[in-house]
């Protein structure tokens, strides 16, 4: 018995020694954060430090009398002075804000508040640099910046902009609006700044516009300008179709552009006018056939297949009076297009049935499929999902505004947004008209099948 007891004691002693050896100082220990370094809780900080606002601070015992309750005064890390680097207001000394990653004086300092007790993290005002939303004051978020990597700016997430559904894109509201000399660089009409100058040149040159003019001469050109844009321009000279000017006078296939019986080169805003169609004698394009039905396309050019003509039963006459080769299935169309079952023509592959299709096309899972229209759209919750705010600090645009806001969960363009034509700017020297923004789906263009 005594021998067994001795052996047991020896074994226990050996085990204890082994355990002590295993817990020696050679084991790797976690490295604690030093003063001024980041933390989540006080346990993350080195001895004598406390974690306040995710930063380790040192503390020193305050003097206390025999009746005092004692306490400690927090001593923070070294903070940036005026002009020194920062990534949020927390990095700067009291009285300074963090703009464009530099501590600077600002009237907005103090937005974060101070209750006079333990240090309260100063939160950034609008336009101040930030790293996360928690760096920003109430109702502000940290919006990524396009001027510096890894930081953003404190800003609002909704801009308070409601699209009007109108935009400055109309060339005309009525036919008479098209009666204006075009102002386009390189156009002969630009020699004359006004119809008065055209009339003066006709008078000075004793030009008789009622007489037959020789094509290509200055006289012929002056008479054409006067008849097309000036005194001879009537409500029948042009048509205003879908707020765009279309020349409405009969032409001769052999006539030169910008001369009698010819087609004008440009509309008032500088849009190109197609050449004279030899069959219809209208300025709809010289190389296309103006059809009335499918049979009339026989032996006529396929409008968008250069050098190819229609044989019996091959083409269809579309609503634009042009001949196209129809499709029967998606394989008949070029890459990126599908066969539209209504028109039997190829259209851009914008139609969707699943969110996955839109995510692939848009390169982001923010793109969804609109079930009512079967088209893709960029989903959103707030305006900054669609555009950076573009807030300007010190003359520098701090993020990228993309002319889009969030409306009923979808990013909506406000480019050239307007209420009436008085708000519209200048295009090629002339004002545009405020018109209804076109339906993207309705504006889809058609094209011929490669084969059928």
Q: Classify residue 257: in a domain, yes or no.
A: yes
With b for 16 or more beta-carbon neighbours within 10 A and e for fewer, the 142-166 pattern comes to bbebeeeeebbbbbbbebeeeeeeb
Same domain, 151 and 229: no
Check whether residue 389 and residue 417 sit in a common domain: yes
Domain match, 137 and 188 both: no
Domain that includes residue 399, residue range: 349-436
Residues 199 and 105 in one domain: no
Instruction: Select from 247, 270, 293 the last residue of a domain.
Output: 270
Name the phi and psi angles at 294, rounded to 5.
-60, -35
Give which of 344, 345, 348, 382 is closest to 366, Cα–Cα.
382
The pTM of the full predicted model, rounded to 2 decimals, is 0.58
CA dist 446 and 74 (Å) reads 72
Burial 169-202 (b: 16+ CB within 10 A, else e): bbbbeebebbbbbbbbeebebeebeebeebbebb
Same domain? For 51 and 126 the reply is yes
Flag whether 164 is in a domain: no
> 87 and 121, same structural domain?
yes
3-state secondary structure of 23: coil
Do 183 and 262 belong to one domain? yes
Q: Are residues 49 and 150 in the same domain?
A: yes
C-beta separation of 260 from 266 below 8 A:
no
Where in 272-372 does DSSP place strands (E)? 316-317, 323-324, 337-339, 346-348, 367-370
Phi, psi of 251 (to 5 degrees): -125, 170
Do 151 and 195 belong together in one domain?
no
Within a domain: 284: no
Which helix H or strand E contains 223, and what residues bound it?
helix 218-229
Q: How many structural domains does the chain have?
A: 3
End of a domain among 216, 245, 270? 270
Task: Quote the tokens at residue 318.
Answer: 């579309």
Distance CA 262, CA 277 (A): 11
- The verdict on residue 115 lying in a domain is yes
Judge if 133 and 199 occupy the same domain.
no
Claim to verify: residue 218 and residue 264 sit in the same structural domain:
yes
pLDDT in tens, the chain (452 residues): 444 433 443 454 444 444 444 444 444 456 788 888 877 566 677 887 776 766 777 755 333 344 444 445 555 567 778 877 788 888 888 888 888 777 888 655 444 444 444 445 578 888 888 888 888 888 898 888 766 667 788 889 999 999 999 999 899 999 999 999 987 644 544 577 789 999 999 999 999 999 988 888 889 989 999 999 999 999 999 999 889 999 999 999 888 888 888 999 889 988 888 888 887 888 887 666 678 889 989 988 888 887 788 999 999 998 877 899 999 999 999 888 889 888 899 988 877 889 998 998 889 999 999 888 778 899 999 998 998 877 877 677 666 788 999 999 999 989 889 999 988 877 666 889 999 987 654 446 789 999 87
Note whether residue 11 is domain-resident. no
């Amino acid at each position: 018995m005594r021998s067994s007891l001795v052996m047991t004691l020896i074994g226990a002693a050996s085990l204890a020694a082994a355990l002590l050896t295993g817990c020696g100082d050679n084991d790797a220990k976690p490295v604690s954060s030093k003063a001024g370094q980041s933390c989540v809780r006080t346990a993350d900080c080195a001895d004598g430090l406390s974690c306040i606002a995710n930063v380790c601070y040192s503390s020193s015992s305050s003097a206390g009398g025999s009746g005092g309750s004692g306490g400690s005064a927090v001593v923070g890390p070294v903070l940036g002075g005026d002009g020194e680097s920062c990534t949020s207001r927390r990095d700067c000394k009291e009285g300074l804000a963090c703009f464009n990653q530099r501590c600077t004086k600002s009237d907005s300092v103090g937005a974060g508040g101070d209750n006079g007790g333990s240090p309260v993290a100063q939160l950034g005002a609008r336009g101040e640099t930030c790293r996360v939303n928690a760096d920003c004051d109430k109702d502000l978020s940290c919006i990524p910046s396009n001027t510096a990597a890894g930081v953003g700016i404190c800003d609002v997430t909704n801009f308070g902009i409601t699209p009007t559904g109108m935009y400055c894109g109309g060339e005309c509201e009525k036919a008479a609006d098209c009666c204006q000399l075009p102002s386009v660089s390189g156009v002969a009409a630009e020699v004359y700044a006004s119809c008065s100058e055209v009339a003066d040149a006709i008078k000075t040159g004793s030009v008789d516009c009622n007489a037959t003019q020789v094509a290509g001469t200055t006289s012929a050109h002056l008479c054409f300008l006067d008849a097309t844009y000036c005194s001879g321009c009537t409500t029948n000279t042009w048509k205003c179709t879908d707020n765009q000017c279309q020349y409405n006078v009969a032409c001769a296939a052999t006539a030169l552009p910008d001369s009698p019986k010819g087609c004008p080169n440009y509309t008032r805003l500088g849009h190109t006018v197609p050449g004279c169609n030899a069959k219809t004698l209208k300025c709809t394009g010289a190389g296309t056939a103006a059809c009335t039905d499918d049979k009339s396309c026989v032996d006529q050019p396929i409008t968008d297949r250069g050098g190819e003509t229609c044989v019996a039963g091959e083409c269809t006459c579309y609503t634009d009076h042009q001949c196209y080769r129809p499709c029967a299935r998606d394989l008949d169309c070029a890459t990126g297009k599908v066969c539209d079952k209504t028109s039997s023509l190829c259209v851009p592959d914008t139609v969707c049935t699943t969110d996955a299709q839109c995510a692939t096309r848009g390169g982001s899972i923010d793109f969804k499929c609109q079930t009512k229209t079967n088209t893709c759209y960029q989903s959103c919750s707030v305006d900054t999902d669609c555009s950076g705010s573009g807030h300007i600090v010190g003359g520098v645009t701090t993020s990228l505004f993309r002319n889009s806001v969030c409306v009923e969960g979808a990013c909506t363009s406000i480019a050239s947004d307007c209420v009436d034509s008085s708000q519209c700017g200048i295009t090629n020297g002339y004002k545009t008209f405020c018109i209804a923004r076109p339906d993207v789906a309705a504006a889809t263009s058609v094209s011929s099948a490669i084969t059928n």
